[in-house]
Structures are given as structure tokens and as C-alpha cells.
Amino acid sequence: MVNGEKPSSQFIAHVTSYPAVSDSLDAIEKNPYGKKGIELANGGYNKMVAPAVPYAQRPYSYIKPYVQKADELADGGLKKVDNTFPIVKEDSQKIKSTILDLAFMPLRMANQGKDYVLSTYGNEYKKCGGNGYVAGGKAVITTSLVVTSDSLAWLADYLNQKKEQAKEVAKEKKDATKEHASN
């Protein structure tokens, strides 16, 4: 920060490059209360901090390497976040819709399950004759059998897929072990 040098931070540049953060900052700047808050903060900085900056140059020169290393580490942490959670680099609306989809997924799944059971019951009720308590009782029993059968078929398919994946992984590991042993 000597001779008009602007402080720069890889971490702050990286954080503000995220669309959600950038959009949030834009919204704050456009909001009259946010704009007033920024003006007050800038005024406080210009009146209180800016005059003291020249006096802090020497002490800052001692801690500057540590500050730069902390900035590099923080930026490295954000790069790991980018790799682990690539959605943070997506558009704000996509992030919002993804979060809402995940939040309401249990409700959607419950409704789909309810619709499935009720439609299965309706079909079984029609097959059993359709009127009275006996037909309703038969429909309940056959519905439970159909739902159980479908659930077990789904589970068998799922387990077969996992079994095939496990076989592929085991084969890859076996081949890698043979290749490593031959080297």
C-alpha cells in the first residue's frame, strides 16, 4: 500500500467471482438502505482509517508476508470448494432452483408414493368387483401384495446394479494389482 498501491486479495476476488455473491452485492448496492450503509462505511473509513494508513506502513511491512500467505491459503480453500461443490460457480437462479428442488423432494416423493398406492388400490378395487366391504378388503390385501412385489422388484434391480458395479471395481482392482505386481 505504498505510493497509491491498491491492496489486492486473491480470496476476495475469488469470493466475489461467485455469481451468488456478485448478485447479492449488486442487490445491496441497488437497495437504498444498502447504499446508505455503504456510504456510511466509506465515510467512516475516509475520516478515521485513511488518515492513519501512512502510520501503519512500517508495522504492515512486517506482517505483509503472513497476510499474503493467509490470503493464498484462503484462496486455495475456495479452489477446493469449487472442485467439491461445482454448483457455487453456477448462476444464482440455478442454485436457488436446485436448493428448492432438493428441499421439496421429500414432499414430491411422498405425493408420488401416495398417488401410486391410491391408483393401485383403485385398480385392485375394480378387479375385485368394486362394491362393498368385502371387495374393499380384498383390494387392500391385493394392493399390499402388489406394492410389496413392486418394491421387491425395484430393490432387486437396485442390488443387481450395485452388484455389477462392485464386480467392475473388483476387476479393475485385480487388474491394477496384476499390473503393479508385473512392474
Report the alpha-carbon distance of residue 178 to residue 170 in Å, rounded.
12
| CA dihedral sign, ordered 57, 63, 64, 70 | negative
Question: Which pLDDT belongs to residue 7?
Answer: 57
Convert the pLDDT of each residue in 116-175 to its tens digit: 999 999 999 988 887 888 888 999 999 999 999 999 999 999 999 999 999 999 998 888
pTM, entire model: 0.57
The grid coordinates of residue 63 equal 506482517
- Count other Cβ atoms within 10 Å, centred on residue 143: 20
